[in-house]
Amino acid sequence: MLEQSFSHIKGIGSKTEIQLWSSNIHDWPSLKNTKNFPLSHRKYDYLKKEIIKSEKHLKSNNPNYFSNGLTSSQHWRLFKNFKSTTAYLDIETTGLYASSAIITTIAIYDGEKIKYYVNGENLNDFKEDIFEYNLLVTYNGKCFDIPFIEKFFNISLDHSHIDLRYVLHSLGYSGGLKGCEKQFGISRNDLEGVDGFFAIYLWEEFVQNKNQKALDTLLAYNIEDVVNLEYLMHKVYNLKISETPFEEKLKMNIPDRPSLPFTPDLITIQKIKNRFYNPFNIAQSMEKYPHYGNPRKILF
């Protein structure tokens, strides 16, 4: 979609872009070769120079040039061109703030390989592995995952970033990642009801009781997030493409769901529900983790 885009160029808004498309200037080559440019000669000369610059950045695999010029709701345009260097990313933590909480697990999926990182085991490997990618896809990562990671590891992630929260909102979808998944018909099956609050208890069960099945369940939940991000990214891309004249040409196939390396343990899930999700312990939980809200509202 980048070759069909003009709105990443300074001074070119969506109305001008649509005007160009309506004049059969559907991509960069057709702009350079057109004899019926609908705007001024000065604007035409400016756009030709900017398109040459855009072609150089695309050839050098630099998504930042384009993401810097696009609004967050338009970052989806990067996806098709940079899919081969995309990582779907999600973290689990013990709270919302890196100053008072830690990262427990991280999951990455690049469309082929699933990578996962566990605090106390291989978490620091993430700091090198993440720079294998040029483009990150998250849900609410701009507000949470990325700033948390940067502060926790004391690193800077200068990747281009598609935050599906903004793109989905532009399409009329809201309600958090789980709410959006349900609207697209995605079922969590055995992980239904497990959320970021519940993930804290899974981590505590693993650390305090050496329950490996709790860690396996936490990783299953974490990895489920990134696998579902891939599906949502493709669906969102196709929905956005359908708003342009290029749906038939640029529509992407939805990839098959990969096999997951972990299975949630239902006994452990029920154990945590029985222990913490009753009126008395809910009050204690809200006092201990006030920023996560009421877990009973989340689960039941």
Q: Examine the domain organization and report whether 130 and 254 are in the same domain.
A: yes
Q: Examine the domain organization and report whether 54 and 111 are in the same domain.
A: no
Average pLDDT, the chain: 91
* Residue 105 buriedness (CB in 10 A; 0-12 / 13-18 / 19+): buried
The string of pLDDT tens digits covering residues 228-254 is 999 999 999 999 999 999 999 999 999
Q: Examine the domain organization and report whether 54 and 107 are in the same domain.
A: no
298: part of which helix (H) or strand (E)?
A: helix 295-299
Q: Note whether residue 162 is domain-resident.
A: yes
pLDDT value of residue 288: 53
Q: Examine the domain organization and report whether 154 and 278 are in the same domain.
A: yes
CA angle 50, 247, 227 (to 5 degrees): 95
How many distinct structural domains can be found in the chain?
2
pLDDT band at 278 (very low <50, low <70, confident <90, very high): low
Q: Examine the domain organization and report whether 227 and 99 are in the same domain.
A: yes
CA distance 243 to 290: 41
Q: Examine the domain organization and report whether 121 and 185 are in the same domain.
A: yes
Reply yes or no on whether the pLDDT at 271 is more than 80: yes
DSSP at 88: E
Q: Note whether residue 21 is domain-resident.
A: yes
CA distance 105 to 237: 28
Q: Note whether residue 66 is domain-resident.
A: no
Q: Examine the domain organization and report whether 27 and 100 are in the same domain.
A: no
CA distance 48 to 282: 61
Percentage of the chain lying above the pLDDT 90 cut: 84
Q: Examine the domain organization and report whether 151 and 231 are in the same domain.
A: yes
pLDDT band at 300 (very low <50, low <70, confident <90, very high): very low
Q: Examine the domain organization and report whether 124 and 37 are in the same domain.
A: no
Q: Examine the domain organization and report whether 238 and 129 are in the same domain.
A: yes
Length of the chain: 300
Q: Note whether residue 70 is domain-resident.
A: no
What is the strand order of the sheet 103-109 is part of?
114-118, 103-109, 86-93, 135-138, 160-163
Per the structure, the complete domain to which residue 19 belongs is given by 2-60
pLDDT value of residue 284: 52
Residue owning tokens 């057709």: 30
Rg of the chain over CA atoms, in angstroms?
A: 22
Backbone angles phi, psi at 34, to 5 degrees: -70, 150
Q: Note whether residue 74 is domain-resident.
A: no
Q: Note whether residue 217 is domain-resident.
A: yes
Q: Note whether residue 257 is domain-resident.
A: yes
Q: Examine the domain organization and report whether 123 and 25 are in the same domain.
A: no
The string of pLDDT tens digits covering residues 9-61 is 999 999 999 999 999 999 999 999 998 899 999 999 999 999 999 999 999 99
Amino acid identity of residue 27, one-letter, is: D
Q: Note whether residue 72 is domain-resident.
A: no
> For position 197, which CATH number holds?
3.30.420
Q: Examine the domain organization and report whether 117 and 245 are in the same domain.
A: yes
